[in-house]
Chain A
């Protein structure tokens, strides 16, 4: 203890008990005043300074200070003081000193001579030049919590000794101060939460703007996104290219909340940007993967289905990177085909695909509908309380198949999203519709001077009946004429297509009255006309359809021989999902005589 520079008298702890009665002071009036001031305060620090001054003068002491525990709870920080030395901002370790003992015990302390108190730390006095002799400390307690403490230093009036009565007074005032500080903190917290909520709303609004506008009725792709929280880790996008083909994607970022939403924003921007120059979804998703891997995403990853839809062909080229398998549904046969993932989720490992990117699957919708969704749908809770599951999803798709796409999306989502309740996970659902038969020649690029490498000439879809074969022949003639093929060439192709379709009518559909359809695509590719002939019957074993030995004169079995005689190539190919059989004819176009 240093020699006092203060002009105060030395305390006499020994005669504390014989202290004469103080002059009558109005404790109640002070308590009432200060409680009111604390209660009305917007900023407790300003009130605290005045309060400390008043209590110091009221008790007749030299100085007072208010310490609060820091957010971490490690330190006690002086937030307000009154006296000859300003120690505002002073920080001491929370578990030390008389103030620390008070905060830990949540009990008021009366120290008449700090020199006899083992807890008193003289470091502050050494720093400030102030000499502490006696202390009165009261905790700022709220229930079981203690926010800090108020201390009054060096009684100067009367006998120079703090009394138990003064400790009780300080404790009462400290309780009022603690309430005011707590109220202030709560209010501050609510204001901060409100500010955060507003920020979140702005983020959600920006995020909604990243989703495409609702599609018009006649557009083949429709989507819906329902976030479980304000912001979503799911997204989908639809983007039409100048040539009429449409990019689409659906993705699910691992995790929920703001970090997932930010990664979602990044991934959707990458999709939009890179899709403009990508040739196919395998290449695109590979590029997105490499970009995502380049920057650290803190262990987060993205599952994605990316597709390029050609409405004129009803052809979807699709890459599934670790995502829930999309379902192709044919309403006529009620048959589902699941498209499994061929690539890992994006953002996990860089440069894992070759120059062609991730694997791409080709699906002819052939009158069917493709459903792509996130696990927010399969894992959604149903009205019954269980998880919807993939069977539940299939049942919903079947039940709502006859609705318009827009309504169907709402019906399916509405089956798992109860009004007024939030979802467990973000839910996103996309449908790709085959808009029936595309307008003839809709995709023929009229403005092109060069012959395109891959040109859709015509697609027809007809019931597989004998009385439609004449129409098929007429269409074949027109497709050949469009390619400026000479008459004999045209006749041979017409015969081959007719024979192939005849086989479908007779063998694949077994001549049934209620037979399904035949879809024929005429595509000019690399100097040949390719004719894809598809049916929706049970798969035919190609070995059962053989070319007959022409030396044997008997009816029947002639068709395949005729086809093979006039085509450069005629073969069954693995049918795309939803298609029963795919028979491909290729006939080289004669080179033009110059």
Chain B
């Protein structure tokens, strides 16, 4: 698992790659919360996520809740089929704002 945070038009685009599981989700959670400290807009790019487990999903949920408190925007973009399967099983596909691509997310948040 690896992650990369890019500043795109003032938004933090957090790109996750690989498996987000119990081993790696603490680092993902940490990075998301840090980004929420620094940015008002967060876009999580899930295009290269092969697998995400309940702990990874929980990190996304927590970041989403923090953003609501802060009045920031938080959205998911380019969700891989693997990640989408888990999100839909968890019925979270209706909770998160999900965009087909990072560009679409930026445009929507802009």
* Chain A interface (Cβ < 8 Å from any Cβ of B): 466-467, 469-470, 473, 488, 491-492, 494-495, 498-499, 502, 505-506, 550-551, 553-556, 558-559, 561-562, 565-566
Contact = CB atoms under 8 A, between A and B. Distances in A.
A553 B95 contact: yes
A467 to B, nearest CB: 5
B59 interface: yes
Chain B, interface size category, equals 20 to 34
Given A502-B54, A562-B54, A553 B61 contact: yes
B33 interface: no
A558 B54 contact: yes
B51 A499 contact: no
A282 B89 CA distance: 44
Given A558-B90, A565-B89, A470 B21 contact: yes
Contacts of B55: 502
Contacts of B54: 499, 502, 556, 558-559, 562
Interface string B88-103: 0111100100000000
B82 interface: yes
B62 interface: yes
11 contacts: A469-B23, A469-B53, A488-B85, A502-B21, A502-B22, A502-B54, A554-B65, A555-B62, A556-B54, A559-B54, A561-B89
Interface of B is mostly: helix
B61 A554 contact: yes
A562 B57 CA distance: 11
B5 interface: no
B23 A555 contact: no
Contacts of B85: 488, 491-492, 495
B82 A491 contact: yes
B37 to A, nearest CB: 19
Given A492-B85, A556-B58, A506 B90 contact: no
Contacts of B89: 561-562, 565-566
A559 B25 CA distance: 14
B86 A495 contact: yes
Contact of B53 (A492, A502, A551): A502
Contacts of B22: 466, 469, 502, 505-506
B91 A555 contact: no
Contact of B23 (A466, A494, A556, A561): A466
Interface in B29-72: 51, 53-55, 57-59, 61-62, 64-65
Contacts of B64: 553
Contact of A498 (B53, B61, B90): B53
Contacts of A502: 21-22, 53-55
B61 to A, nearest CB: 5
Contacts of B62: 555
A466 B21 contact: yes
| 8 tightest Cβ-Cβ pairs between the two chains A and B | A555-B58, A558-B54, A466-B23, A466-B22, A559-B54, A550-B91, A565-B89, A555-B62
